[in-house]
Amino acid sequence: MHTTALVLFSGGQDSATCLAQALDKYERVETIAFDYGQRHRIELDARVQVLHALREQFPAWALKLGDDHLLDLSVLGQVSETSLTRDMEFRMEQSGLPNTFVPGRNLLFLTLAAALAYRRGLEVIVTGVCETDFSGYPDCRDDTMKAMQLALSLGMNRRFLVETPLMWIDKAATWALAERLGGHALVNLIVEHTHTCYLGDRDHRHEWGYGCGTCPACELRLRGWQRWRSGLATPLP
Ligand code: ZN
């Protein structure tokens, strides 16, 4: 029976929902994120706001929420040229992958998260990767996660569980999951404080949160919101 978890928490809708689920499920939860020269520091600011709001509005969760870790991973910005780290337009590459794909990113994140989890005595590593709203990222695949769980567990001689609560649900169901975990208060917190927009837009406030409204990340979030509000979310497991 696992009781402790480390959540990869970027400050977006998905990882905030994963964090809420971990707080619901486990007795001690810590959070980790990486500063790799993201074009928009807004994501890193958003996560501080979300953590603060969670502590304030959910006292039972506040008791379980432990340290937050922000690791410097600027080396990732040095090796990759993508629209997330450089000032480039979003587009699809010849490979069929969007240029927001940072090769090796999730693999590095998980490796560093496991190293930290090892030191902190945390058993479960939670990440919000998802195959359902597949953006084509090969490092978000279920097979990749299972392979990482095995490699990390063997390589560190510690049985880690890599947990992916959103793997098989769509964005509409992610909103539904937030509602189930923390009611309207949690949905409102996610709308107000999380950040998903690729362009880092915090000037335009929509019903579903802040963002430009037209980039792929905003479109996905908007479509999920609309489907959830229309009662079209796929049933939660
Ligand atoms: Zn946007």
**Residue 85 pLDDT exceeds 60:** no
**Residue 39 pLDDT exceeds 80:** no
Cα of 84 to ligand 1 centre, how many Å? 12
Looking at the chain, the whole-number percentage of residues with pLDDT higher than 90 is 68
Q: Collapsing DSSP states into helix, strand and coil, what is residue 206?
A: strand
Cα of 12 to ligand 1 centre, how many Å? 12
Q: How confident is the model at residue 90 (pLDDT cuts 50, 70, 90)?
A: low
**Residue 72 pLDDT exceeds 70:** yes
- Give 4-229's CATH code, choosing from 3.30.530.20, 3.65.10.10, 3.40.50.620, 1.10.3720.10: 3.40.50.620
Cα of 115 to ligand 1 centre, how many Å? 33
Looking at the chain, the whole-number percentage of residues with pLDDT higher than 70 is 88
Region of poorest pLDDT, from 24-28, 33-37, 51-55, 201-205:
33-37
Q: Domain coordinates of the chain in residue numbers?
A: 4-229
Q: Per-residue b/e over 22-55, b at no fewer than 16 CB within 10 Å?
A: bbebbebbbbbbbebbbbbebbbebbeebbebbe
Q: Identify which of 165, 124, 162, 110 has the alpha carbon closest to the alpha carbon of residue 2.
A: 124
Cα of 64 to ligand 1 centre, how many Å? 33
Encode pLDDT of 144-185 as tens digits. 999 999 999 999 999 999 999 999 999 999 999 999 999 999
Cβ contact 208:222 at 8 Å: yes
Q: Identify which of 154, 143, 82, 87 has the alpha carbon closest to the alpha carbon of residue 118.
A: 154
How many angstroms separate the CA atoms of 7 and 25, rounded?
12
Residue, of 199 and 163, whose pLDDT is higher: 163
**Residue 32 pLDDT exceeds 90:** yes
Encode pLDDT of 100-145 as tens digits. 667 888 999 999 999 999 999 999 999 999 887 656 788 888 999 9
Cα of 161 to ligand 1 centre, how many Å? 33
Cα of 27 to ligand 1 centre, how many Å? 35
Cα of 172 to ligand 1 centre, how many Å? 18
Cα of 215 to ligand 1 centre, how many Å? 4
**Residue 93 pLDDT exceeds 80:** no
Encode pLDDT of 202-235 as tens digits. 999 999 999 999 988 899 999 999 999 998 777 7
Amino acid 91: pLDDT: 65
Q: Collapsing DSSP states into helix, strand and coil, what is residue 28?
A: strand
Cα of 210 to ligand 1 centre, how many Å? 8
* CA-to-CA dists, residue 161 to 10, 28, 64, 226, angstroms: 20, 15, 19, 33
What is the value of pTM for the model shown?
0.91
Cα of 148 to ligand 1 centre, how many Å? 30
Q: How far is CA 91 from the centre of its chain?
A: 22
Amino acid 1: pLDDT: 87
Amino acid 219: pLDDT: 92
Amino acid 99: pLDDT: 65
Cβ contact 176:233 at 8 Å: yes
Give the environment of ion ligand 1: residues with CB less than 5 A.
197, 199, 211-212, 215, 218
